[in-house]
């Protein structure tokens, strides 16, 4: 992604969600950016985490902040790196009718039934990043593409209430 307010800089990363969803998230009004991000390049690649790590190493000397995925580079350089990657088949888009949304919720419910259970006794508060990471890994391992992480959070809030500010949820445990 690029942003006209940050000339000569590119955000290089990967997402397991639809690219349009990630772009919309980056352009939310609470991200403190004066102009919207633009999607410059998007590819489906084999082993995306490894490819991202490799790209970050190659572009490392141009990294703006070690904790962020922004690099002083141009679209042409990033395009050349993408051209060197193995791509994979573009997944079929998920249908947008009510039946497919229900399927996504069924995937989330299956995950919740498998890994989340009510508990009055807890050792530590359950943080959202841990749940989201487990859900993404589980979906990958099970071969599911349906079930959005944001919907998972909504369903957790609906069932268990909002997490305690800064602590996480204390009303359930995660089965490991």
Does a structural domain hold residue 2?
no
Q: Are 106 and 140 within one domain?
A: yes
Q: Are 76 and 116 within one domain?
A: no
How far apart are alpha carbons 53 and 50 in whole angstroms?
5
Domains identified in the chain, total number: 2
Give the domain range for residue 164. 98-174
11's tokens: 């955000």
23's tokens: 């772009």
Q: What are the pLDDT digits (tens) for 122-160? A: 667 888 888 888 888 888 777 777 777 778 888 888 888
pLDDT for the residue numbered 98:
47
Q: What are the pLDDT digits (tens) for 58-106? A: 999 999 999 999 999 999 999 999 888 877 666 555 555 444 444 677 8
Distances, alpha carbon 58 to alpha carbons 10, 39, 105, in Å: 14, 21, 39
Q: Which residues contact 63 (CB under 8 A, 6 or more apart)?
A: 56, 70, 71
Does a structural domain hold residue 43?
yes
Does a structural domain hold residue 91?
no
Does a structural domain hold residue 147?
yes
Q: Are 163 and 133 within one domain?
A: yes
Q: What are the pLDDT digits (tens) for 19-46? A: 888 888 888 867 678 888 998 988 888 8
Q: Are 106 and 158 within one domain?
A: yes
Angle at the Cα of 30 (from 24 to 33), degrees rounded to 5?
80
């Amino acid at each position: 992604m690029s942003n006209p307010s940050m000339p000569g800089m590119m955000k290089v990363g990967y997402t397991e969600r639809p690219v349009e969803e990630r772009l919309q998230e980056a352009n939310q009004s609470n991200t403190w950016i004066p102009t919207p991000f633009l999607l410059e390049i998007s590819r489906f690649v084999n082993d995306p985490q490894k490819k991202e790590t490799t790209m970050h190493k190659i572009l490392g000397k141009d990294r703006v902040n070690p904790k962020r995925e922004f690099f002083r580079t141009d679209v042409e350089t990033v395009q050349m790196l993408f051209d060197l990657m193995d791509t994979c088949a573009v997944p079929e888009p998920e249908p947008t009718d009510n039946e497919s949304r229900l399927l996504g919720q069924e995937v989330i419910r299956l995950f919740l039934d498998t890994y989340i259970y009510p508990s009055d006794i807890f050792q530590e508060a359950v943080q959202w990043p841990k749940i989201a990471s487990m859900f993404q890994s589980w979906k990958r391992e099970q071969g599911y593409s349906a079930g959005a992480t944001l919907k998972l959070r909504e369903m957790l809030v609906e069932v268990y209430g909002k997490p305690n500010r800064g602590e996480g949820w204390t009303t359930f445990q995660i089965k490991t």
